[in-house]
Amino acid sequence: MITLYVIQSKVTRKRYVGITNNLHRRLLEHRSGNTKGGQILGDFDVLLTEVYPDHIQARQREIFLKSGKGREWLKTINAP
């Protein structure tokens, strides 16, 4: 199982979209500041998680969420 996730900075509201086979580990890496996304976002909230049976499907969704239409859709689920 592959998890797609979207995290959002509490300060700047910037978002990071990623996929992983271990969400708990990956979020710890972001929170520790050892990843580029974690360094840019700082303190963040998990905005969205979706589980997919394989990497191909998760990657297709990741590509969509990073597109213009995907970013617009993310705005609709974004808390004010």
In whole angstroms, give the CA distance from residue 9 to residue 16: 9
Domain range annotation of the chain: 2-77
In whole angstroms, give the CA distance from residue 60 to residue 79: 25
For residue range 19-43, list pLDDT tens digits in order: 999 999 999 999 887 887 777 888 9
What local confidence, expressed as pLDDT, does residue 78 receive?
A: 66
What local confidence, expressed as pLDDT, does residue 60 receive?
A: 97
The top-level CATH class assigned to 2-77 is alpha beta
In this prediction the pTM is 0.89
Q: Is the Cβ–Cβ distance between 3 and 58 less than 8 Å?
A: yes
